[in-house]
Amino acid sequence: MKAILLIVLGMGCMFGSRAQWNYDSARGQSLNAGYTDLGTNGTAITTNYTGTAMTHDDDNSSVQNIGFTFSFNGKTFTQFVLNTNGFIKLGVDTPSSRKIFYPTIGANGVGSTGPAAGVVYVADSNLIYPFSHDLNNDATGLAEYRVYTSGTTGSRVCTIQYKHVMDKLTPTQYTYMEFQVKLYETTNTIDFVYGTFTASSNTSTLTTAAVGIKGNAPDSSVNVAKGSSTLWNATLSTANNLYFKNKNYSTAGPNFSSRNAVLPDAGRTFRFVSNSTALPVTLVNFSATENNHQVAIHWTTTNEINEKNFEVQRSANATDFTTIGVVAAKDDAATNHYLYTDANLAGTGNVVFYRLQQNDENGRSSFSNTIRISLDGVNDALTVSAMNPFHDAITLQLQTPAAGKAQVSLLYADGRVVTSKELSVPAGSSVVILEEQAHLAKGVYFLRVAKDNAVKTIRLLEE
């Protein structure tokens, strides 16, 4: 007889929203990793979102493939959309406008209709912006956008390249620009790599761009700040006016400023390092919920080591963590829980961060990804049930109060992805079927569902 496994991700509007933002400014790096032009490797991006020819001024590309599964903001992505104004949006949805860019100092958000104060791309999520500014063809008229995935499974790199572009500031600062985004499989590291910038003959003038990454909200973002006369290869520090900053750009800064008198050294790389799990166990799921200051932290593993206990750690800034409790590890696959009263979650907008730590016999520490709890009044309740065990297909039922995108992923027991798809689900109840799974060997698998700011994984058995 088949059993139904029921998992509740949220418990109505009494809970604050949850997100798994997995980057912070403390891990940001500046280095010179070299710049390698893609040449003819990969695929030139030549069609726009409506399927017609790609233009080079204020355009969104057709949906492009990353080449592997990339984890960002508590979700997994296999595709992206490129905007010609120096940013990409992960997933299959077009950005809210073709004309989004970060045009001048003090302007935030977008485009030709004027600035929107306080938030970079206020209507958009899952953004990666290596140099978001009003851009166009250079004088050759040969602007090129290209994507290339290289490497072997488990360590592949997706490179997204902008080439033969120039800024539209008056006066123009650069007559030629080239730069890349690199997405790394497994580690989920993000690199911004800058190649040749050619100075115009115009007067050296301060110009600003947005340089950074953004999840769902201002507190789920990391941006790079730089003074216009600061060398691109300066040592990272606030004193040097080159640093990574959590949260969004504001009207007063931080801004990424530049001018044609100070060009990047070719190969200059700004690196965003994910807080992805590096524990000595396989962490299948790590999540938290909040109810009236009570935070319930949950995690599941496939191969616990009973002498390696879990330290549950908390931070108010995603950087300085303090151990708040210890949970004994078991010696096999397990589900773990820890309950904590967090007085800082007293009002809407307050944010705290949690992670897990394990120590080896030599005292070295390993850490999980960091999860964020934010009270913003959003109801993201979600119920997921699945037929278990499964055979030729997996049938699951989703129950959600609001329509939206849900990412459904089937994983091997070791965490590798079998298949993943992003679905548009209606409010209320809907049924999803993952077909043609008969080729899978008998054994344990995990089904992961992510919607809005909630992520949960359930255990399935193939018989």
Domain membership of residue 186 (yes or no) is: yes
> How far is Cα 128 from Cα 189, in angstroms, rounded to an integer?
12
Segment 220-242 mean pLDDT:
91
Domain membership of residue 16 (yes or no) is: no
Q: Which of 334, 318, 323 is nearest to 369 (CA)?
A: 318
Is 42 in a helix, a strand, or coil?
Answer: coil
Angle at 424 between CA 423 and CA 425, to 5 degrees: 105
Q: Is pLDDT larger for residue 431 or for residue 106?
A: 431
In a 10 Å sphere around its CB, with 0-12 CB exposed, 13-18 middle and 19+ buried, how is residue 323 labelled? exposed
Indicate if 298 and 409 belong to the same structural domain. no
Which pLDDT score is estimated for 438?
A: 66
Which pTM does this prediction carry? Answer: 0.61
Domain membership of residue 406 (yes or no) is: yes
Give 59's strand partners.
Answer: none
Segment 388-412 mean pLDDT:
78
> How far is Cα 461 from Cα 463, in angstroms, rounded to an integer?
6
- DSSP annotation string for 43-78: EE--BBTTSSB--SSS-BBPPEEEEEEEEETTEEEE
Indicate if 254 and 297 belong to the same structural domain. no
Q: Are 222 and 272 contacting, i.e. CB atoms less than 8 angstroms apart? A: yes
Indicate if 83 and 52 belong to the same structural domain. yes
Q: Which long-range contacts (CB under 8 A, 24 or more apart) does 389-392 make?
A: 389/2, 389/460, 389/461, 389/462, 389/463, 390/437, 390/460, 390/461, 390/462, 390/463, 391/437, 391/438, 391/462, 391/463, 392/435, 392/436, 392/437, 392/438
The domain total for the chain is 3
Domain membership of residue 423 (yes or no) is: yes
Domain membership of residue 18 (yes or no) is: no
Indicate if 264 and 287 belong to the same structural domain. no
Domain membership of residue 379 (yes or no) is: no
Residue 292 scores a pLDDT above 70: no
Indicate if 435 and 316 belong to the same structural domain. no
What's the CATH number where 432 sits?
2.60.40.1930
Indicate if 306 and 180 belong to the same structural domain. no
Domain membership of residue 201 (yes or no) is: yes
Q: Is pLDDT larger for residue 121 or for residue 448?
A: 448
Residue 68 scores a pLDDT above 80: yes
Indicate if 42 and 150 belong to the same structural domain. yes
> How far is Cα 248 from Cα 210, in angstroms, rounded to an integer?
10
Amino acid at the residue 293:
H
Indicate if 250 and 336 belong to the same structural domain. no
Share of the chain above pLDDT 90, in %: 33
Domain membership of residue 354 (yes or no) is: yes
Last residue of a domain, one of 212, 242, 272: 272
Which pLDDT score is estimated for 165?
A: 97
Last residue of a domain, one of 309, 340, 374: 374
Residues 6+ apart with CB under 8 A from 37: 161, 163, 178, 195
Q: What's the pLDDT tens digit per position in 298-350?
A: 888 888 887 788 999 888 776 677 899 999 888 888 888 888 887 666 544 56
> How far is Cα 309 from Cα 286, in angstroms, rounded to an integer?
16
Indicate if 210 and 333 belong to the same structural domain. no
Indicate if 199 and 225 belong to the same structural domain. yes
What's the CATH number where 352 sits?
2.60.40.10
Q: What's the pLDDT tens digit per position in 432-450?
A: 887 766 678 888 777 778 7
Indicate if 281 and 351 belong to the same structural domain. yes
Indicate if 174 and 222 belong to the same structural domain. yes
Q: Which domain holds residue 261?
A: 23-272
Last residue of a domain, one of 272, 306, 325: 272
